[in-house]
Amino acid sequence: NAGVTQTPKFRILKIGQSMTLQCTQDMNHNYMYWYRQDPGMGLKLIYYSVGAGITDKGEVPNGYNVSRSTTEDFPLRLELAAPSQTSVYFCASTQGLQGETQYFGPGTRLLVL
């Protein structure tokens, strides 16, 4: 039982490049989330999904896109990377009941130069 896995662990992008951050969970959780963590700012919600085919914006969605074609996978897409997207990205999942624990992946560190 691997929990929540994220790839890659670290990536350097040039401005304007695109990439997809991968997130997979093996707990059969319905709800999945993407957060970004900037120094001194805590974590901010980018997008979330309540099931396959259903996604919605969080607090800071600009510059990102998501899709959810399966229960297990929730990739995050950066279309035109900008220096402001330099951050650590965390994926999380939970079964969905209010107050349930969110389980986090190890994170992807992204540097945009």
Partner 1 sequence: AQSVTQPDIHITVSEGASLELRCNYSYGATPYLFWYVQSPGQGLQLLLKYFSGDTLVQGIKGFEAEFKRSQSSFNLRKPSVHWSDAAEYFCAVSFGGYNKLIFGAGTRLAVHP
Could you tell me which stretch among 14-22, 61-69, 75-83, 94-102 binds partner 1 (CB under 8 A)? 94-102
Nearer to partner 1, 62 or 98 (CB): 98
H-helix or E-strand spanning residue 37: strand 31-37
User: Residue 39 — φ and ψ, nearest 5°?
Assistant: -55, 130
User: Residue 85 — φ and ψ, nearest 5°?
Assistant: -90, 0
* Residue 100: DSSP 8-state: P
**Residue 104 binds partner 1 (CB under 8 A):** yes
**Footprint on this chain of partner 1 (rule: CB under 8 A):** 4, 31, 33, 35, 40-45, 48, 50, 56, 58, 90, 92, 94, 96-102, 104-107
